[in-house]
Amino acid sequence: MHTHARLAPPVPRPGVYDIYWTFAARRHEAFERRVSGKPGPWTSDPILNTYKFCNVFRAADRVSQYMIRSVAYADDAGSYADRVFQIVAFRTFSNIATWEGVRSALGRAPHLEDLMSGRFEQALDQVKASNGGLYTGAFILCANKAYGFDEKHRNHVGLFKHMFGEGHLHESVRGSNSLEGVVRALEGFPLMGPFMAYQTAVDLNYSDLLGFSEDDYTQAGPGALRGLRKAFHTLGDFTPTDAIHWMVERQDAEFERLGLRFTGLFGRKLHAIDCQGLFCELDKYCREAVPELASNRSRIKARFSASSQRLDLFFPPKWQLAVPPGSMVPPGPSDGVVPQMTLGFDDAQAGSGADANRRLGKRGPRHNRSQDKPRDIAVSAMLL
C-alpha cells in the first residue's frame, strides 16, 4: 500500500500577502491609464507615485520592449546563431544606448562574424569611450576575470566567443526541449549565474526562435527571495519556485477575493516570470509600506519620474495579444516630473488586507532620510 504525503502550502503573512495582489492591480492600472492617454498622476497610491517600480508584466518594461522590437525581431538580425548571440549580448549589457552605439559603429546589428573578427569588441570600445560605460545596474553580473582580462566587457567578449565558438550555444538552444533546458545550457558557461541565465532564456523565448510557455520554469532572484520572506510566514514544504507557480495558479481567485480589477496585459494573465518579478517589487514596496519587515535592503533609491521618450508597444506576435493599433506609452512632462499625490485610502479593498492598505495609505512615503547612510543599491529582479 502506497501512502502519499500532502505538501504543506505556504502560510501567508496577513496583510502583506494581500499587498502583493493590491500592488499588482494598482501598478498595472497605472500602466493602463497612461497607455490610454490619461494625464498623470496615474494612481492615487502615494508610494507608487513617489518611487520607481517595474511594470507588472516584464515584457512591458522599457528595456524589454526595446529588446523585443529591436533585437529579437530586428529586420537585420541574420541567421539563427546570429540572433541567439544578439539576444544574449543585449541582455548582458541591458543598455539601450550601448546597443544603439554598437549598431551605429557597425552599420547594422552585430553578427557572429563581427564577434570573431574583433569588430564587435572595437565597437564596444568606441561606445565605452563615448558614453563612459556599457552596463546598467539592472542585474548583478559575475565580475571575475574568467577570461583573463581586467575590463569586464573584455571578459564578456571572451564569454561570447566561448559560447558561440567551441561552446556551440546556438545549437544547444535550438535542441532544447524545455525552457529549463535553455537555462541549463546558459548557466554552464562562466559569468552566467542561475538568475542571469533564466532572464536571458526568457528573452530568447520572446523571439520566434523558441516557443515554450513562461510557466514551464522559473527561478527566484535575490529580490524575489526577499519578497517571498515578507509575503509568507513560511513556505511550508514549497520551494521558492513552487511558491511562484502557486501564485500563478491562484491569481484569479485572489483578485476576486480582494475585489480588485485586473484584466491582464491586453488579456494575457500573469505568468511565472511576472509573479517572480512581483515578489521583487513587493520587497521594495514594503520598505515604505511595512518598514518593520526589515531586510538587508531598507530604502528605495530610485524615485519616479515619467520618461520623456515615447514608447510604442510591441509584444511577441506569437502571443496574439489584442493590442489596439498605435498603442503606446506617451512621453511624460518635459521636465520629467509628474505631480505627486499622497491620498488616503478610504476606498481600500475589502478582505484581510484592508487594514494594512489603509495603514500604508495614510502613512505615505517616508521622505526624511537625511540621516541615512549610503547603502548598496538593491538590484531589481526586473529591469528598471
How is 262-290 classified by DSSP, letter by letter?
A: --TBTTBPP-HHHHHHHHHHHHHHHHHH-
CA atoms within 13 A on the CB side of 60: 24
H or E stretch at 199: helix 194-206
User: What is the mean predicted confidence (pLDDT) over 8-14?
Assistant: 96
Please give the single-letter amino acid code of residue 141: L
Residue 309 pLDDT class (50, 70, 90 cuts): confident
Instruction: Indicate if the pLDDT at residue 190 is higher than 60.
Output: yes
The distance from CA 3 to its chain's CA centroid, rounded to whole angstroms, is: 41
Please give the single-letter amino acid code of residue 110: P
Cell output for 23: 500592488
Kindly report the average pLDDT of the chain as a whole number.
85
* Torsion sign over Cα 51, 57, 58, 64: negative
Between CA 45 and CA 56 the distance in angstroms is 15
Strand runs labelled E in the chain? 11-12, 232-234, 311-312, 328-329
Residue 303 pLDDT class (50, 70, 90 cuts): confident
Q: Is 345 exposed, middle or buried (0-12, 13-18, 19+ CB in 10 A)?
A: middle
Q: Running DSSP on this structure, what letter comes out for residue 373?
A: P
Instruction: Indicate if the pLDDT at residue 236 is higher than 70.
Output: yes
Residue 307 pLDDT class (50, 70, 90 cuts): confident
* Spatial CA neighbour of 74 closest among 52, 35, 103, 51: 103
User: What is the mean predicted confidence (pLDDT) over 299-306?
Assistant: 69
CA angle 23, 28, 34 (to 5 degrees): 130
Mean pLDDT lowest among 30-39, 45-54, 138-147, 165-174: 138-147
Q: Give the model's pLDDT for residue 264.
A: 97
Pairing of strands 311-312, 232-234: unpaired
The distance from CA 15 to its chain's CA centroid, rounded to whole angstroms, is: 24
pLDDT > 70 fraction of the chain, expressed in percent and rounded: 81
User: What is the mean predicted confidence (pLDDT) over 50-68?
Assistant: 96
Q: Give the model's pLDDT for residue 295.
A: 66
Between CA 301 and CA 255 the distance in angstroms is 29
Cell output for 133: 560605460
Between CA 68 and CA 342 the distance in angstroms is 35
Q: Running DSSP on this structure, what letter comes out for residue 79?
A: S
Between CA 19 and CA 34 the distance in angstroms is 22
Between CA 299 and CA 278 the distance in angstroms is 17
Residue 5 pLDDT class (50, 70, 90 cuts): low
User: What is the mean predicted confidence (pLDDT) over 67-81?
Assistant: 96
Between CA 61 and CA 199 the distance in angstroms is 14
Q: Give the model's pLDDT for residue 145.
A: 87
Q: What is the dihedral of CA 207, 213, 219, 223, to 10 degrees?
A: 70
Helices 16-35 and 240-257: angle between axes, nearest 10 degrees = 70
Instruction: Indicate if the pLDDT at residue 148 is higher than 60.
Output: yes
CB of 68 closer than 8 Å to CB of 206: yes
Q: Give the model's pLDDT for residue 7.
A: 86
* Spatial CA neighbour of 81 closest among 157, 195, 167: 167
Q: Give the model's pLDDT for residue 143.
A: 63
Residue 253 pLDDT class (50, 70, 90 cuts): very high
Identify the residue with better confidence: 370 or 14.
Answer: 14
User: What is the mean predicted confidence (pLDDT) over 332-343?
Assistant: 44
Q: Give the model's pLDDT for residue 297.
A: 61
Instruction: Indicate if the pLDDT at residue 221 is higher than 70.
Output: yes
Cell output for 197: 541565465
Between CA 11 and CA 115 the distance in angstroms is 50
H or E stretch at 102: helix 96-106
Q: Give the model's pLDDT for residue 72.
A: 98
Q: Give the model's pLDDT for residue 39.
A: 86
Q: Give the model's pLDDT for residue 280.
A: 96
